[in-house]
A and B are shown apart, each in its own frame.
Chain A
Amino acid sequence: MQHLRIVDYLSSKLHIESDSISTLFDTCILKEIKKNDFLLSENDYCKHTFFVEKGLLRQYSIDDNGKEHTISFAPENWFVTDRESVYFDSPSRYYIQALEDSEVVLIDENFIQLLSEKIPSFTTFNDRLLHNHIRHLQNRINLLLSASAERRYLEFIEMYPDILLRVPLTMVASYLGITPESLSRVRKDLARKNFKK
């Protein structure tokens, strides 16, 4: 199997040699997915957490009026899944689609169990990852309820520094919960403040 980013990612986070964990990934499935193809669709049962080795994924929902709402973007080194579907065995409300030709590692519950058994520090790390994710979601709810469009945008570019060049602005607007016109206005106002000829 080719050398995986997830091995480097975990070895750096867990402060262990990549050689000592790389064999654990021998049985992992590395899935290639073409731009615009889906890893998950509404009403599917999601069985995996996806780790992005290469490319870019988007998780989103579609409301009753057919409008898309972006839940998250997942570029290289990000995890994305529908936890409700995986851990509560329910049909998914979401789509996970590749925005670029991508490669993802498929991680299931058994593999998480294996990592927990074989790597003593993994459980603590995994808990921390989960807490961090909850912190991010809380912050996102708070921003959607209380923050100006500009503030939401500034938080977004801190979280995703290179995404603006990789996705259409309409998708970014749908992540921020604002119209594409509002997003253009925010960007224009910032340029007015920050652009020096």
Chain B
Amino acid sequence: MKTRTVELVASPRAPHFVGDGFRVHNFIPSGFRLDMQRMSPFLMLDYNSTYNFPPSDKPKGVGVHPHKGFETVTIAYKGRVAHHDSSGGGGVIGEGDVQWMTAANGILHKEYHEEEWSKKGGDFQMVQLWVNLPAKYKKTTPKYQAIKSKDIKRHELPNHEGTIEVIAGEYNGVQGSASTFTPVHLFNARLKKGGKADFQISAEYNTALLVLEGNIIINGTEKVPTDHLALMSNDGEKFNIEAVDDALVLILSGEPINEPIAAQGPFVMNTRAELMEAFNDFNIGKFGYLED
């Protein structure tokens, strides 16, 4: 079995605000090595590195907007987000929770700092990931998987070196609770200083590691600092990480979806014609209605 090497360590780009509630560094899509096709099935990764929001009586966030043709995955590390959608759904994503929303045929939603949290303010740290759907699932009914922190399956590493939280896919026999349309692994590795974890994933799966806390070393040689993203080559199956200090790492890996991508704004389809249809569906209310 060959070792999978590091292809690129990406620094966080200058942050920008999504609405007024998410201050994010965009990692995917960017450049030719982190573009949508290279990173398939991952279309987008926005990282809100730890940022202190002052108290606000009016919750900050993003107003009503649509999605169609893919899934949004929101992972809350610090802070709380409330969300509502055009099919009447809603809820709160608290610290350690994951919300896996299948936008598929089209949905309107809005996301704001949860009201009570907003009044107090505090540190906020989140990841939003877009996962593509194959053509045959792009027109299925939207749905949610609200995965609470306490329900996330965990693998304890030997010698109390840390924990692997399995959000989706499989690690060392532990199956994640999220169901996915194509094979996807999504793990949080919480490692103590000096803690090590080994990974073994098919070479063709596109794989990246986002370091949220601490510093790590991949395969004993490549140092990846906090808030950086390591893109792994597709040249082997196994790799390992070691925490230089207490570390938190998001590992994302998925089987590529080998289909054309037509993406504009919040819609990701296969053809330009389907994109135009998505805009029209949104414009004439086929995604429903949601008050701002």
Contact = CB atoms under 8 A, between A and B. Distances in A.
Q: Which among B276, B279, B285 has the highest number of chain A CB atoms within 10 Å?
A: B285
Contact of A164 (B86, B276, B283, B286): B283
A73 to B, nearest CB: 14
A165 B287 CA distance: 14
Contacts of A164: 282-283
Interface residues of A, number: 17
A20 interface: no
Given A157-B280, A195-B86, A197-B87, A165 B265 contact: yes
Nearest to B279: A161
| Main SS at interface, chain A | helix
B65 A195 contact: no
Interface in A174-197: 187-188, 190-197
A19 interface: no
Contacts, number: 47
Contact of A157 (B264, B266, B283): B283
Nearest to B277: A161
A162 interface: yes
B288 interface: yes
Interface in B235-292: 264-266, 276, 279-280, 282-289
A161 B280 contact: yes
Nearest to A165: B265
Given A162-B264, A165-B65, A192 B280 contact: no
Contacts of B283: 157, 161, 164
B284 A157 contact: yes
B112 to A, nearest CB: 18
A162 B265 contact: yes
19 contacts: A161-B276, A161-B280, A161-B283, A162-B264, A162-B279, A164-B283, A165-B66, A165-B282, A187-B285, A188-B285, A188-B289, A190-B284, A191-B285, A191-B287, A191-B289, A193-B285, A194-B284, A195-B287, A197-B288
Given A165-B65, A193-B285, 7 more contacts: A161-B280, A166-B265, A191-B287, A192-B289, A194-B285, A195-B86, A195-B287
Interface of B: 65-66, 86-87, 264-266, 276, 279-280, 282-289
